[in-house]
Amino acid sequence: MTTLLMFIAALAVMILLHEFGHFIAAKLVGIPIEEFGIGFPPRLLTLFEAGGTRFTLNAIPLGGFVRPKVLNDGEDGGEVVDALSAAPPQKQLVVAIAGPLMNLLIAVILYAVIFAHQGVPQTDKVMIVDVAPGSPAEEAGILPHDVIVAVNGKPVNDPAMLHDEIYAHLGEPITMTLARGDQTLTVTLTPRNPPPETGAIGILMGYPMRSVSWPAAVGWGLRATAEDVVQVASLPVTLLKKHDTNAQLLGYKGMYEVFQQFRAADVQAAEQAPQDAFPVNTLVFFIMVTVSLGVFNLLPLPALDGGRIALSLAEIVTRRRVPVSVVNAINLAGFVLLLGLLVLINLREWIP
């Protein structure tokens, strides 16, 4: 139950912060906001009022919303117009893009927390992460956290190079030079032929980590977030190439199952080494969610931020405004289609 509540809270907070990005941007460009809601209606209570905005707590705790001030309620027979719809397209553009940018900013911050705590990988070195029981590596005295300096006298700075050198000498003795703390030692071992499931010598390879300052951690966070954005943005092309969405598009059930695995990994790590307990996998899941939310909302589709961004750019270029009634009709149609897609994806996870 705790894991489920944490999962729901994570989704709600990411959506709420997305809306908070819209809210801050609207305030900065002078668009009056009537209400900033935590959760979705019905309204439970008004928390406080500030700057002409009512901050409310609502009954359905699955995100939040921003309600611009209504300038014309349509009682005179005209269009229903709110402050955002009436604003110049340049201001609408700023407000629309602020939500996704907030999601990406969250990813940068979470990555920075991870890198500041755990360091960053030294990709020019190879470290032993684990040693299989009864393997040639264990028999030779190799330990986790040993750094492989050389194999057969050849410098090692890449896992692929080490793998190739080992598998080129199956059944033959090889020498490894290791760095263990301040010590340097050389061991001899024979890769198994044929290799079992645990590999020729029975090691799991990784990279050693080096500590970085907070400013450097933020820089690494920017880099990692940019890589995630590219990966998520390329997902539609990948799906079209594979002609199979089942393994890629996850509904809430699939997302929760992934979250359970990530949380279980953190819990297990904390049980094995309480002094080093850190929820890195949980934070990575939050990053996955917030980046996906940000990139998805940038798609140029009606009812999404990307749709308003595209419309605002078109109005800026053509210097012509699209009637509010037309925009509302397009957004309503887009919302219905997106809701149908969401239902379909989630039904696929429950119905074989």
User: Helices in the chain by DSSP H: which ranges?
Assistant: 2-28, 83-86, 89-118, 136-139, 159-167, 214-233, 235-242, 252-272, 280-297, 305-318, 324-350
Q: Are 294 and 18 in contact (CB under 8 A)?
A: yes
Catalytic residue among 19, 34, 138, 165: 19
What torsion, rounded to 10 degrees, do the Cα atoms 321, 329, 44, 253 define?
Answer: -120
Q: How buried is residue 339: exposed, middle or buried, by Cβ count under 10 Å (0-12/13-18/19+)?
A: exposed
Q: For 277-306, give the DSSP string.
A: ---HHHHHHHHHHHHHHHHHHTSS-TTSHH
Q: How many other CB atoms are there within 10 angstroms of residue 67's CB atom?
A: 17
Query: Cα separation of 21 and 19, whole Å?
Result: 5
Question: What phi, psi does 317 have (nearest 5°)?
Answer: -70, -45
Residues 6+ apart with CB under 8 A from 30: 91
Q: Which of 9, 11, 64 is nearest to 290 (CA)?
A: 11
If DSSP codes are grouped into helix, strand and coil, which group holds residue 266? helix
DSSP conformational letter for 275: G
Residue 19 designated active-site: yes
Residues annotated catalytic, as ranges: 19
